[in-house]
């Protein structure tokens, strides 16, 4: 028997579902016991879900979470799982205020509680708004070995809790996490975990949440890293998974079996104890390979859409099918996430719609198996335009709004969730119609630039062919020039720069926060920069009214990027 067998429970909680999440912890602890594990670690705030946002401010929720934790400890013992210590994240509340906490449950009791030290307040995080920070560390002895803990952001900070655990001489560090996915995040995450393991002088067990929560998606990617920074084990991305790892830790080499089985103990340290030992793993289980970039992004989008639909109680989705690339990709994501029988596509031709719009929509439906209906909008548009005397842009937007009204009507009638099909590029420059194509309850590709939409479409078709399946996206939808078809012969290129060039400017301006002078210095033409920046700045009011959608980039529109709607500031030549 190895000296220490650790179970990493990479699970998918739901915010606010205390009973359901407790049931998840119980079920996966049973699996850990069956696998012979000596301890099991769950993600950050697994009992409450993460992020809880302003629920943290409600005293009733904090007290309910604390009570649920105590009940869970008793339930684990009743179920025959009381002998395995379980690290469980939750929301605590004491006389100081709300806490981002994790507890150790053992023998039917809560034997240790620890509070997060570093509270992130950047990007999507607002933890300083909600939580009070901790100042001490509980070190738990398991089978004669000393196990310390840090919570999520604590490992992103050099020194602090990790260094304190190293000085205290722990044999192992566990780290519950709720770290949201973004493209290429593992390029930073794995080296970071490796650095912290070396800093602690102990193997580091990193357990991350998986699944979608509103506009965030969590990829799992749980891992164990040895003291030398080498990867020992890694869980697959975007799926619930129990990873079991055997470690032989030098700190317990001279302990007798009687000492190893001695009563469970806890000691508390602050950020200044001392000593750093050396460690190495002796058993290497399977290491899941990270997904290729397009596959990783697709999996993130599928997970985010699936969990938003299912966790909010919807059974089906409806979307407009124009025959274009955006609606084709959204439809394919929905089919992968929910199954074809839960996806309803609607073709809504107007007097300006081309024949290939209908045929490409029908081709997509045949390839994927989703439901397709046709609801022509020409007569609806005629009534609005005729009665109000609309022309030009007003007439174009009425077409988009008749489509939005049609989808919302079907949603109300049949209980579908409406999916908006706009991409990040369109959202950035305001190339959408409020209450028209922007209508919906969720926007799956809201954070996907147009150029990446094409890349994902080609990747998804290639993946299908590789597995002997029918490619879901019609080639015509990929290759034809994009058009909103709101006036005769309209093309996106009539109103927007080339998408490759546009996305390059937007990446620097939106994600990089680079100003006018920086963009000129980067080689973009002044006329182009001025045009694009003005479109972006003027469209803030539209973005505020857009549905939520899965975040995959470093800076998504929404809680990542918060600019005033009313603002006289404009980037430009000084």
Taking only the tens place, the pLDDT of each residue in 306-345 is 999 999 999 999 999 999 999 999 999 999 999 999 999 9
End-of-domain residue from the set 439, 466, 491: 491
Q: For 11, phi and psi rounded to 5 degrees?
A: -125, 170
The answer to whether residue 310 is domain-embedded is yes
Q: Are 235 and 241 in contact (CB under 8 A)?
A: yes
Whether 152 is catalytic: yes
> Are residue 233 and residue 195 in the same domain, yes or no?
yes
Residue corresponding to tokens 């102990």: 202
The full DSSP string for 28-41 is HHHHHHHTT-SEEE
**pLDDT at res. 258:** 46
Average per-residue pLDDT for the chain: 88
User: Span 376-405, mean pLDDT?
Assistant: 92
Query: pLDDT at position 283, please?
Result: 41
Instruction: Indicate which residue of 81, 127, 146, 152 is catalytic.
Output: 152
Instruction: For residues 275-304, give the mean pLDDT.
Output: 70
Given a contact cutoff of 8 angstroms between Cβ atoms, the answer to whether 294 and 217 are in contact is no
Cβ–Cβ < 8 Å for 520, 413 = no
Q: Is 364 in the same domain as 393?
A: yes
User: What pLDDT is stored for residue 251 in this prediction?
Assistant: 63
Predicted confidence at residue 269, as pLDDT, reads 45
Higher pLDDT, 492 or 242: 242
Domain containing 371 equals 294-491
Whichever domain contains 92, its CATH number is: 3.60.110.10
Q: Which of 407, 381, 332, 337 is nearest to 487 (CA)?
A: 381
Digit-coded pLDDT (tens) for 251-276: 654 444 444 444 445 555 443 322 22
561: which DSSP letter? Answer: B
In a domain, residue 561? The reply is no
> 157-161: long-range contacts at Cβ-Cβ below 8 A with a sequence spacing of 24 or more?
157/117, 157/118, 158/195, 158/199, 159/199, 160/117, 160/118, 160/271, 161/117, 161/118, 161/137, 161/271
Q: Are residues 186 and 43 in the same domain?
A: yes
Catalytic residue among 81, 116, 446, 485: 116
* pLDDT(468) > 50: yes
Over residues 469-523, the pLDDT tens digits come to 999 999 999 998 877 656 676 677 777 889 999 999 999 999 888 999 999 999 9
Of 439, 471, 491, the one marking the end of a domain is 491
Mean pLDDT of 152-163: 84
> Active site includes 81?
no
Tens-digit pLDDT profile for residues 434-451: 999 999 999 999 999 999
Half-sphere exposure of 342 (CA within 13 A, CB side): 18
**Dihedral class, residue 142 (left if φ above 0, else alpha if ψ from -120 to 50, else beta):** beta
Please give the tally of structural domains in the chain: 2
Residues 6+ apart with CB under 8 A from 249: 3, 4, 145, 171, 172, 202, 203, 279
Pairing of strands 241-247, 4-10: antiparallel
Tell me: do 462 and 387 sit in the same domain. yes
CA–CA distance, 207 with 209 (Å, rounded to integer): 7
Whether 298 and 284 share a structural domain: no
From 219-233, 252-266, 450-464, the region with the lowest mean pLDDT: 252-266
Q: Which residue, among 451, 464, 182, 216, has the nearest Cα to 335 in the 3D structure?
A: 464
**284 and 313 fall within a common domain:** no
Tell me which of 555 and 493 has the higher pLDDT. 555
* Domain annotation covers residue 543: no
* Same domain as 313, residue 243: no
Q: Are residues 279 and 411 in the same domain?
A: no
- Nearest-angstrom CA–CA distance, 523 and 503: 14
H or E, element range at 516: helix 516-521
Q: Residue 484's pLDDT is what?
A: 62
Question: Which pLDDT band holds residue 128 (cuts at 50, 70, 90)?
Answer: confident
Q: Name the domain boundary from 438, 466, 491.
A: 491
> Is the residue at 257 inside a domain?
no
User: Which member of 44, 182, 396, 571 is catalytic?
Assistant: 44
Please indicate, yes or no, whether residues 325 and 344 belong to a single structural domain of this protein: yes
- Check which CATH number belongs to the domain holding 369 and give it: 3.40.50.620
State the pLDDT at residue 259.
46
In this predicted structure, the answer to whether residue 37 has a pLDDT above a threshold of 50 is yes
**183 and 229, same domain (yes or no):** yes
Walk across the sheet containing 136-142 and list its strands.
231-234, 223-225, 204-208, 172-177, 145-149, 136-142, 265-270
Statement: residue 161 has pLDDT above 60: yes
Percentage of the chain lying above the pLDDT 70 cut: 91
pTM of the predicted structure, to 2 decimals: 0.88
C-beta of residue 198 within 8 angstroms of C-beta of residue 142: no
Res 203: pLDDT: 94
Res 185 pLDDT > 90? no
The answer to whether residues 300 and 283 belong to one domain is: no
Cβ(160)–Cβ(154) under 8 Å? yes
Q: Give the three-class secondary structure for 408.
A: helix
CB 224 within 8 A of CB 204: yes
Neighbours of 465 (CB within 10 A): 11
State residue 30's pLDDT score: 95
| Among 81-95, 158-172, 305-319, 472-486, the least confident range | 472-486
pLDDT at 47 over 50: yes
Domain-embedded: residue 98: yes
For 140, phi and psi rounded to 5 degrees? -105, 135
Q: Which residue has the tokens 């799926």?
A: 239
**Residue 506: inside a domain, yes or no?**
no
Residue 573 forms part of a structural domain: no
242 & 370 share domain: no
- Taking a C-beta distance cutoff of 8 angstroms, is the pair 550, 444 a contact? yes
User: Does residue 547 sit within a domain?
Assistant: no
CA-nearest of 436, 425, 447, 411 to 560 is 447
């Amino acid at each position: 028997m190895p000296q220490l067998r650790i179970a990493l429970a990479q699970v998918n909680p739901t915010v606010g579902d205390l009973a359901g999440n407790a049931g998840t912890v119980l079920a996966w602890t049973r699996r850990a016991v069956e696998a012979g594990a000596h301890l099991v670690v769950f993600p950050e705030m697994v009992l409450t879900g993460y992020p809880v946002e302003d629920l943290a401010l409600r005293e009733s929720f904090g007290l309910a979470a604390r009570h649920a934790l105590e009940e869970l400890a008793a339930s684990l013992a009743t179920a025959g799982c009381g002998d395995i210590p379980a690290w469980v994240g939750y929301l605590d509340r004491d006389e100081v205020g709300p806490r981002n906490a994790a507890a150790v449950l053992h023998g039917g009791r809560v034997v240790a509680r620890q509070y997060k030290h570093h509270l992130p307040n950047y990007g999507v995080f607002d933890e300083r708004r909600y939580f009070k920070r901790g100042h001490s560390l509980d070190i738990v002895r398991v089978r004669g070995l000393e196990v310390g803990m840090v919570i999520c952001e604590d490992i992103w900070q050099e020194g602090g809790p990790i260094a304190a655990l190293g000085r205290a001489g722990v044999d192992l560090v566990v780290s519950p996490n709720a770290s949201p996915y973004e493209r290429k995040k593992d390029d930073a995450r794995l080296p970071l975990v490796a650095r912290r393991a070396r800093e602690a002088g102990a193997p580091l067990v990193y357990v991350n949440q998986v699944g979608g929560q509103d506009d965030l998606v969590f990829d799992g990617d749980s891992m164990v890293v040895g003291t030398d920074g080498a990867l020992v084990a890694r869980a697959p991305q975007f799926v619930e998974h129990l990873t079991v790892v055997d470690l032989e830790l030098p700190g317990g080499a001279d302990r007798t079996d009687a000492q190893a089985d001695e009563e469970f103990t806890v000691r508390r340290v602050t950020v200044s104890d001392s000593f750093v030992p050396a460690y190495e793993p002796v058993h290497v289980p399977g290491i899941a390979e990270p997904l290729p970039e397009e596959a990783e992004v697709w999996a993130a989008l599928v997970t985010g859409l699936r969990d938003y639909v299912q966790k909010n109680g919807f059974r089906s989705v409806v979307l407009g099918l124009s025959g274009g690339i955006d609606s084709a990709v959204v439809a394919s994501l929905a089919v992968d996430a929910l199954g074809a029988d839960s996806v309803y596509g609607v073709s809504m031709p107007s007097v300006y719609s081309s024949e290939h719009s209908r045929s490409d929509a029908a081709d997509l439906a045949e390839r994927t198996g989703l439901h397709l209906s046709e609801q022509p909008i020409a007569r609806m548009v005629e009534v609005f335009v005729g009665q109000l005397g609309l022309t030009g842009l007003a007439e174009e937007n009425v077409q988009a709004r008749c489509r939005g009204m049609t989808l919302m009507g079907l949603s109300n009638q049949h209980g579908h969730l409406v999916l908006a099909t706009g991409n990040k590029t369109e959202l950035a420059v305001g190339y959408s119609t409020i209450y028209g194509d922007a209508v919906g309850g969720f926007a799956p590709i809201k954070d996907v630039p147009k150029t990446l939409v094409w890349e994902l479409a080609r990747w998804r078709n290639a993946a299908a062919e590789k597995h002997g399946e029918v490619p879901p996206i019609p080639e015509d939808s990929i290759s034809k020039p994009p058009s909103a078809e709101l006036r005769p012969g309209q093309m996106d290129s009539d109103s927007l720069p080339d998408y490759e060039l546009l996305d390059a400017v937007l990446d620097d301006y939106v994600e990089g926060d680079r100003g006018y002078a920086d963009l000129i210095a980067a080689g973009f033409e002044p006329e182009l920069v001025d045009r694009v920046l003005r479109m972006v700045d003027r469209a803030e009011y539209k973005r505020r009214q857009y549905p939520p959608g899965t975040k995959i980039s470093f800076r998504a529109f929404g809680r990542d990027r918060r600019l005033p709607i009313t603002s006289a500031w404009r980037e430009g030549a000084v």
